[in-house]
Amino acid sequence: DTAVSQTPKYLVTQMGNDKSIKCEQNLGHDTMYWYKQDSKKFLKIMFSYNNKELIINETVPNRFSPKSPDKAHLNLHINSLELGDSAVYFCASSWTENEKLFFGSGTQLSVL
């Protein structure tokens, strides 16, 4: 059983398109996150939800919109994709804030 699963694993798309990445955790955790890892392998927080409520919203373009339909799911929708959006996006979860994180295997997004 995969604890934190995200789909798709790979996403190749054209500039200007809209795409979504889905994430689900079966650990019963309250808090979920989206991190972005760029080409230099730097892992940076984008958003965090605690029990479906947005608690962290870093300086991210408005084209990125997270949605948490329930505490086990956190999806990321990206509008009008740009070349600079190419990166690996990781979903993660934790029991509460300030706890160790459990990461998904990542979604490699390539914008052409």
Partner 1 sequence: SQKIEQNSEALNIQEGKTATLTCNYTNYSPAYLQWYRQDPGRGPVFLLLIRENEKEKRKERLKVTFDTTLKQSLFHITASQPADSATYLCALDNGQAGTALIFGKGTTLSVSS
List interacting residues with partner 1 (CB under 8 A).
4, 33, 35, 40-45, 48, 55-56, 90, 92, 97-98, 100-106
Q: Are 22 and 75 in contact (CB under 8 A)?
A: yes
Find the length of the chain.
Answer: 112
Nearer to partner 1, 16 or 51 (CB): 51
Residue nearer to partner 1 on the CB measure, 15 or 54: 54
In angstroms, the CA 3 to CA 64 distance is 25
β-pair partners for 47: 34, 57
Q: Which is nearer to partner 1, 90 or 111 (by Cβ)?
A: 90
Find where tokens 């892992």 sit. Answer: 43
DSSP type of residue 84 = G
Smallest distance, partner 1 to C-beta of residue 66, A: 13
Q: Smallest distance, Å, CB 84 to partner 1? A: 19
